[in-house]
């Protein structure tokens, strides 16, 4: 049976995504949508580039595609900068040459997933725990392409009611978690230490830190002010709001791929 999904249907026209169509005879899975967005992003990759390699179930499709194109000889002379140990392992297994920010402080292009994308292309990232390295690497990139399936699009940051992650030092983590909760109390915040380490212990990031997941009831409004306030708290290393960092967001949905570019995306 032919898929109703047409991968050639690519638009940056808002109305086109909203056009009702006949119901697709076969629904694509979320993972298939992630792969479609990832492959579209890899079209931006050129031989000779230094690439930030993202982390997560969407970014892994982009890393796999880069590995495939290198193997086929369609790309060459690529240097990858992985945003996590997991991505490093995947890239090494695919034969992608790797380096780091010390050797390559300017990155041509980073490709990564996100947990939330708002209409201004602000992001939440870090539900996989890799937010610090991602922010360092993606912040050093000339172009940052975000790849998501349409379930990640929100009206405002925190709008999914899922976690806004904050990486903190393990030292007196309860103290820092409580300071975060107090700071964000006005937005109806619950702050929980992320578990998932050995024997139900705290999840530990690649940097040896903990994560506090904040669940917010209300729109934070001035994200820049909230970001600054969080970063001023002693004990906080970084948070998962990526404000004004994405250059392009590629959204794969049942009706096609939509490309949103910074400064032409909003509202
Ligand atoms: O820490 C994890 C990263 O920020 C991921 O890029 C983000 O959580 C999106 O992951 P996924 O593509 O698995 O939804």
199, part of any domain: yes
Rounded to 10 degrees, the C-alpha dihedral 255/17/55/171 comes to: -130
How many domains are contained in the chain?
2
Report pLDDT for 264: 66
Q: Answer whether 208's CB lies under 8 Å from 197's CB.
A: no
Do both 110 and 147 map to the same domain? Answer: yes
134 is catalytic: yes
184, part of any domain: yes
CA 179, CA 185: separation in Å to the nearest integer? 10
Report how far ligand 1's centroid is from the alpha carbon of 138 (Å). 13
4, part of any domain: no
Report pLDDT for 34: 96
The CATH code of the domain that includes 95 is: 3.40.50.1360
Q: Answer whether 238's CB lies under 8 Å from 132's CB.
A: yes
Report how far ligand 1's centroid is from the alpha carbon of 34 (Å). 11
Q: Which domain holds residue 186?
A: 164-240
Nearest CA to ligand 1 atom 6: 113
Report pLDDT for 3: 39
Q: Which tokens in the block code for residue 240?
A: 């998962």
Residues in the chain where the model's pLDDT stays below 50:
1-9, 13-25, 265-267
Do both 21 and 128 map to the same domain? Answer: yes
- Candidates 134, 138, 167, 238; catalytic one: 134
Within the chain, strands assigned E span: 10-11, 50-53, 79-82, 107-112, 116-117, 123-124, 141-149, 164-168, 190-193, 210-215, 236-239, 241-242, 248-253, 256-261
Do both 211 and 192 map to the same domain? Answer: yes
Do both 136 and 183 map to the same domain? Answer: no
CA 152, CA 248: separation in Å to the nearest integer? 15
3, part of any domain: no
Do both 121 and 206 map to the same domain? Answer: no
Closest-CA residue to 267 (of 161, 118, 136, 67): 118
In short, whether 82's Cβ falls inside 6 Å of ligand 1 is no
Nearest CA to ligand 1 atom 9: 114
DSSP conformation letters of 45-112 = --TT-EEEE--STTHHHHHHHHHHHHHTTSS-S-EEEESSHHHHHHHHHTT--B--TTT-SSEEEEEE
Do both 223 and 249 map to the same domain? Answer: no
123, part of any domain: yes
Do both 34 and 123 map to the same domain? Answer: yes
Categorise residue 41: left if φ over 0, alpha if ψ from -120 to 50, beta otherwise: alpha
CA 250, CA 34: separation in Å to the nearest integer? 10
The model carries a pTM of 0.90
Report pLDDT for 14: 41
Closest-CA residue to 60 (of 81, 40, 38, 79): 38
The CATH code of the domain that includes 218 is: 3.30.70.260
CA 242, CA 76: separation in Å to the nearest integer? 30
Do both 145 and 187 map to the same domain? Answer: no
267, part of any domain: no
């Amino acid at each position: 049976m032919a898929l109703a999904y047409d991968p050639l249907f690519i638009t940056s026209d808002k109305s086109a995504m909203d056009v009702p169509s006949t119901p697709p005879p076969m629904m694509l899975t979320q993972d298939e949508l992630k792969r479609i967005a990832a492959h579209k992003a890899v079209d931006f990759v050129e031989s000779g580039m230094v690439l930030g390699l993202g982390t997560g179930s969407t970014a892994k499709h982009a890393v796999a595609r880069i590995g495939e194109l290198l193997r086929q000889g369609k790309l060459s002379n690529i240097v990858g900068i992985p945003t996590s140990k997991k991505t490093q392992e995947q890239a090494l297994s695919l034969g992608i040459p790797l380096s780091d920010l010390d050797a390559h402080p300017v990155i041509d292009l980073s490709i990564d997933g996100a947990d939330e994308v708002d209409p201004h292309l602000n992001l939440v990232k870090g539900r996989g725990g890799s937010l610090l390295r991602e922010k360092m690497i993606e912040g050093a990139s000339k172009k940052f392409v975000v790849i998501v399936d349409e379930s990640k699009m929100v009206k405002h940051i925190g709008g999914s009611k899922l976690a806004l992650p904050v990486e903190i030092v393990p030292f007196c983590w309860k103290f820092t978690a409580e300071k975060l909760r107090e700071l964000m109390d006005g937005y109806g915040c619950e702050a929980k230490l992320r578990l998932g380490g050995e024997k139900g212990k705290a999840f530990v990031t690649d940097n040896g830190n903990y994560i506090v997941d904040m669940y917010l009831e209300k729109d934070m409004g001035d994200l820049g002010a909230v970001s600054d306030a969080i970063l001023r708290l002693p004990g906080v290393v970084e948070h998962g709001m990526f404000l004004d960092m994405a250059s392009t967001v590629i959204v794969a949905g049942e009706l096609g791929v939509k490309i949103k570019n910074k400064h032409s995306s909003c509202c």
